[in-house]
Structure 1
Amino acid sequence: MTETRAQLERGLRIATLLVAVLTVDVLGMINLWRHAGTYEPLAAQVVAAALLTAVLATEAVLVGRRRPWGALRRPAIAVVLAAAALSYLALPQNRTSSTVDWIFGAANWVGLVVLLDRPFRTVLLFLGTHEALALGNLLLFHDVTRSSLARFATGSVTVFGLPLCLAVMATVLGRIARQADEAARKLERVRTAEAVASAAHRRRTQRFAELAGTTVPLLEGLADGSLKPSDPLVQRNSAIEAARMRRLFAETDTVENPLLHELRHCADVADRKGVEVELDARGQWPVPPVAVRRDLTDAALTALATADSWARVTVVGSDTLVSVNVVADCDEHVTAEPATGGVRVETFNGNGTVWMEARWEPS
């Protein structure tokens, strides 16, 4: 439920509660004490008024705590109807739906307070039950005359009609609020989809920019024939660029350990060439930023992509140091300088074997 809808429903509850309090505890009490001497007995009317006041007090507490009636709703309606029946039984002869019958125009509002957030048919059923109690009291315990029936019908116009109008308004406002909620959710979904599409476009643009300096020239050379696929240097560069692309795609994956995940993708390129790759990890370490992970994996990526038959990658980490070591039987080469200042790379070549280490110390 949106904040606007919650405020709207709470405001309607408060307004209905104020009307009910005015009807029961002000107008109802004035009529009750004005005709106190005519009730048989008076205590029945006092108890009925106390029951209705207790229901209204409960609603005031629930509104203050912003809570619905929940499991208390049915007992509350039972209390309202019981109070009405008790009051009707103590009415003087031929006083139904008159000013002496104070509860006729009070119990309906108390019931509406309890059922305001329920479906319209539920409110209609309660109001009909309340009318049936009053009519049954008239038919069973009082003299039925044309004037008494006319008085009952006239009183029912306001007793039944006014709460019914408020229930209709509450139903309409609830429908409008639900439609507003749905429209807000649809708008949020559209905005989210646009944000996702925009982010995906930015990622694609960024990826293309990152590959433009190395991969694109290689592809253009192969396309226009200036580079020969049979050239060992072209094959070596193609393997390196393939590993970089695999790493680039792996950077967007949501995994627990991104560094190992990207190294596995780099190793997959070597594995497809028939190179025997061993990847080992020891310890635990914080997740390095993307730029740091690229510097840590660049040395391993190059060695894995150019290895002849075997390669071993070891990742050792802690809270203060992350080290990526690679040993492979590949050609001697010089690695690029790390782009981030916190990464150091060392390389040793000899006897057809290359050993590289990239170290990062988290600040």
Structure 2
Amino acid sequence: MTAGEQVFASIRLVLLGAVAVLQLGLSLPPLLAYEHGPGASVAFVVLALVPLVCAGWITRRRPLPRVVVAGGVVAVLGASVLATAALPADGHFGAAHWSFGLVGWHLLMLLADRVPALLAAFGAHLAAGIAQFVLAGPPDRVSIGAAGVVVLGVTSFQLGVLLLARVLLRTARQAAELAAEQERAATRAALAEQWAQDLRAGFAGGLGTTLPLLADLADGVLDPRAEDTRRRCAFAATQLRRLFAEHDEVPDPLVHEVAACVDVAERRGLSVSLAVSGSVVPVPTEVRRELTGPVASALSAARRRARVSLLRTDGEVRLAVIADAAPEAGPGPATGTGTDPEVDPKVDPGVDGVSGRVDVRSDTYGGQTRMEARWRTS
């Protein structure tokens, strides 16, 4: 239920109680005290039935159906004409005219959320009452003045209630909009905080391989001229470059991260070709890390040239690298999943590995090493 519907539901509930009190407490005594025509009792019963019919929706705080509203307005206006016609002589807009003020509250209850229709109904009710007042006999100046006071007093009070309802509605809508904006702001702040935490965690993982390497270089533990040291530096640079690319807003994140790995290799002087086939497939961030891990490892171990191919279908994503890396003994990322940033970038050919999500294969033929990471989308 919207803020406007809640306000009108509460207003209708209050007006329902007001109609019941006014009809029984203020309208019934004049009906019994003055002589009226036979139509007065019928009008009173009709006016009593309208809130009784509407009470089922109003007490459950539900909007009134259009059919009920239209039927109620017609019944109320008809009862008003009938009750006015049954007034005793000189009873218009006087103590015996019990229906005039009561009908306005019925109309408010029915049309509080339909202001144009409510004003039109008010106008019809007022026009009918004045017409019957004039047709009952030529009124004198005193009668006209008394009628004007009654009309002005009743209608101004009822229109004041309508104005109050509109003010409450506007206030409720402003409060609802403010609450929604505060909730959106809190959501944005929570998402930004989560994104910052993920970013810090990702960079911390990437720096986990870089900082020890830099410390060993600074302490002289590693020789910068050694092939293994250069390979470790190339692997760390590739991992960091892929990590930066991971947080870029791009249409195809996987290709963007693979291209970042290729870019680092080309800056080292390698001749690298990249072939991409298939349309964009949504790949979770963790899976992209596992897929690009073997790429970073193979490119960091390559000597002169490498070829990277990415194949995407409805059923799987395959990322393969063929490089002219020389086979070396020792553990390497081909045996793992590509998610651990502290993996030694040496390529260990002929060893296969399977993670919970990505299947990694590595083989060597002559001087060519081939690594492939495969992820099934379903």
Q: TM-score, normalised by structure 1?
A: 0.71
> Which residue number in structure 2 is paired with residue 17 of structure 1?
16
Letter in 1 for 2:90: N
Deviations 1:101-146 (A, max 9, x none): 2321211001111232345x87566545534432332233234235
Structure 1 vs Structure 2 CA RMSD: 4.8
Counterpart secondary structure, 2:371: strand
Q: 2:197 aligns with which of 198, 202, 207?
A: 202
Cα distance in 1 between the residues matched to 2:247 and 2:229:
28
Cα distance in 1 between the residues matched to 2:67 and 2:255:
54
**CA distance change for structure 1 residues 204 and 57 in 2, over 3 Å: closer, same or farther?**
same
Q: 2:362 aligns with which of 326, 347, 351?
A: 347
The answer to whether structure 1 residue 181 and structure 2 residue 179 are counterparts is no
Q: 2:46 aligns with which of 43, 46, 50?
A: 50
Deviations 1:22-76 (A, max 9, x none): 33467545654665x631xx34762585267347624643663622566876675
Counterpart secondary structure, 1:61: helix
Cα distance in 1 between the residues matched to 2:101 and 2:312:
81
Give yes or no for contact 2:31–2:98 (8 Å, CA) kept in 1: yes
Task: Give the paired residue count.
Answer: 354
The 5 Å alignment of 1:1-363 reads 6-24=5-23, 27-28=26-27, 31-32=30-31, 38-39=36-37, 42-43=38-39, 46=42, 49-50=45-46, 53-54=49-50, 57-58=53-54, 60-61=56-57, 64=60, 66-67=62-63, 77=73, 79-118=75-114, 126-127=121-122, 129-145=124-140, 148-149=143-144, 151-153=146-148, 155-156=150-151, 159-215=154-210, 237=232, 239-249=234-244, 251-252=246-247, 262-263=257-258, 266-267=261-262, 274-279=271-276, 290=286, 293-307=288-302, 308-313=304-309, 325-332=320-327, 334-336=331-333, 337-338=336-337, 342=356, 345-358=360-373
State the percentage of identical aligned residues: 31
**CA distance change for structure 1 residues 63 and 118 in 2, over 3 Å: closer, same or farther?**
farther
Give yes or no for contact 1:325–1:356 (8 Å, CA) kept in 2: yes
Structure 1 position 79, deviation (Å): 5.0
Cα distance in 2 between the residues matched to 1:193 and 1:208:
22
Structure 1 position 149, deviation (Å): 3.7
Cα distance in 2 between the residues matched to 1:79 and 1:118:
17
Counterpart secondary structure, 2:362: strand
Cα distance in 1 between the residues matched to 2:312 and 2:152:
84
Give yes or no for contact 1:267–1:304 (8 Å, CA) kept in 2: yes
Cα distance in 1 between the residues matched to 2:273 and 2:321:
13
Deviations 1:251-309 (A, max 9, x none): 45789997677546545655787412234679x9x96671x543343112322455433
Letter in 2 for 1:61: W
**CA distance change for structure 1 residues 65 and 185 in 2, over 3 Å: closer, same or farther?**
closer
Cα distance in 1 between the residues matched to 2:360 and 2:66:
66
Structure 1 position 314, deviation (Å): 5.9
Deviations 1:169-192 (A, max 9, x none): 322322321231232133223323
Structure 1 position 349, deviation (Å): 3.3
Cα distance in 1 between the residues matched to 2:211 and 2:78:
85
